[in-house]
Structure 1
Amino acid sequence: MELKSALLVVPVLTLPDYSIPFVIETDAIGNGIGAFLMQKDHPISFISKGLSACHATLSGYKKELLALYKNGKENLVADALSRIQGAELMSMLICLVQADLWDEIKANWTTDPLLQVLIESLQVQPRKHFTWLNPQLRRTGKLVVGDDTSLRTKILSLWNFTHVGGHSGIDATTRKVMAYFYWNGIRSDIANFVYKCVVCKRNKYDTSAYPGLLQPLPIFAFPWMDICMDFIEELL
């Protein structure tokens, strides 16, 4: 009931108004932590993550210390996030930003020939890493995306161009996308996509270490101070 109530109250995210104070609502329960950045009782941004095996064994009181705690009935929004599974949260995120993306991913499983063969084989014999349940095609818990360039581009655009991605760079975008999706060559596709992003090229500064000043060769004080030799053979 709490999850349904929370989703009915806050169906979509909104843009922030920096002239109004922000409120953070958080909760930790079970094996997850959820937090909402609120403004005028409306969500601006959110985060939800699972607890590590070490933290999952902590008592309820200690788990609450991993997040700012707001009491019971006043904390419906964050309670919903802390109780929701990662895949369901990803579905919420996709629906909030682009409603038809989830449908395209599901349709891709029925149109890609290789994925059709994989799904049929999974229904007969389970395979390592891959599962077909609910019905969703996953590899180690991540949604499998077939050989569809437009769909892959749409996914990468969502996690790079929009406020969800925020042009975070190759490493951060790779972590975000690979937390939910899998396809062959996903790392190289993400790197090439972000590398070609015009906004990133214009606004991202070079984070490599400064090489320092050039060190020219010393000026010799007199002839034959430094002698070098090389052997060259088979000249025509």
Structure 2
Amino acid sequence: MTTLTLITGANRGIGLEFCRQSLAHGDTVIACCRQPEQADALQQLALSHPNQLELVALELGEPAQFDNLCAYLGERKLDRLICNAGVYGPKGLPLGEYQADHFEQVMKINVTAPMLLVQALHPHLAGDAKVALLSSKMGSITDNGSGGSYVYRASKAALNAIGKSLAIDLQPQGTSVVLFHPGWVQTAMGGSNALITPEVSVRGMRHVLEQLSLIDSGKFINYDGVELPW
């Protein structure tokens, strides 16, 4: 039976690589991003996988659109939900220069959007569905030895808390939830000096997802399968 996978932030970087590898594995993929008509790489994938890849416009900062996404799914059930989209916010600001509005958009996209998206989609999850929330080691309080990056760190720590609660609340319906650190990846956010490629990161996360069960639901896991400290 074909696996139905929905991916947010699918137009570039890790999200695009999740699309590529999921398609190669034979999944039917629903690729969501703000402007799919302008996503050249996704458009090329759609041409080469016309019966596997569906492109859907989705603005994560507009939760009212989640109802439209549910209507689009209809009676179909998702086997995989990859909440990948995220933003970093201001970089390099010293303490003393942060403003409230620096937090607003980052928290909306990194925290509120994935929580409300999973909430909207949970009736559309298959009995043994798996949900991946892309977090970061920068959300680990234990691992914070350098300070700074208040906005991004706060958003990912909050996402970790949400993912843990989702794992508990979705357990009765058989859904497993994992919080991923994808590694330092060569993307627009990670930069060209990052240590690993999107292909390596996604291959590792997909392997973890394949093995994921309710026993491991709610854990914070590195792309290579190593559990991380909160």
Length-normalised TM-score, structure 2: 0.22
Length-normalised TM-score, structure 1: 0.22
